[in-house]
Amino acid sequence: MTMNIIRKIFATTAVVISGFVAVPAMATPNPNVTLMATLDQSPAFNSSVRWSVFRVENGVRELQPYIVYDNRHSLAIRLPPGRYVAEASRESVSRTRTFDVGSYAANNIVVALD
């Protein structure tokens, strides 16, 4: 019974796609990517923002998201080195940012949803 409760809690906070487990920002050890959605140049607090992060291989964005988060204005995650596209969606607005993850430098990605 306890394991089922733990699985349900984990399933509501993280999505597993392509064999990668994304854990919530507060539990992510050494995040190397921070994503933040903004409205009117301020964090999009109290907004239902859906984040989809796609890998880019040989210049082509993969069709299936690498990870997905719902209802988060911001998150901090750890990604392996490579090129990615972050897509933030809220209501009828969707914006993307392409970024590279290296071995050492952190990435702070801000997406304006105005």
Contact 66, 55 (CB under 8 A): yes
CB burial class (10 A; 0-12, 13-18, 19+) of residue 41? exposed
Residue with tokens 């089922």: 4
Domain count, the chain: 1
- Per the rule left: phi > 0, alpha: psi between -120 and 50, beta: everything else, 84 is beta
Tell me: the pLDDT tens digits for 60-70?
Answer: 999 999 999 99
- C-alpha dist (Å) from residue 112 to 6, 18, 65, 80: 34, 27, 20, 25
CATH number at residue 17: 2.60.40.10
> What range defines the domain where residue 46 resides?
2-112
Tokens for 102?
């290296």
CA 87 – CA 85 distance, rounded (Å) = 6
Q: Which of 9-18, 39-48, 75-84, 95-104 has the least mean pLDDT?
A: 9-18
Helix %, strand %, coil % for the chain, to 5? 15, 45, 40
pLDDT at 29: 67
Which range has the worst mean pLDDT, 14-28, 47-61, 89-103?
14-28
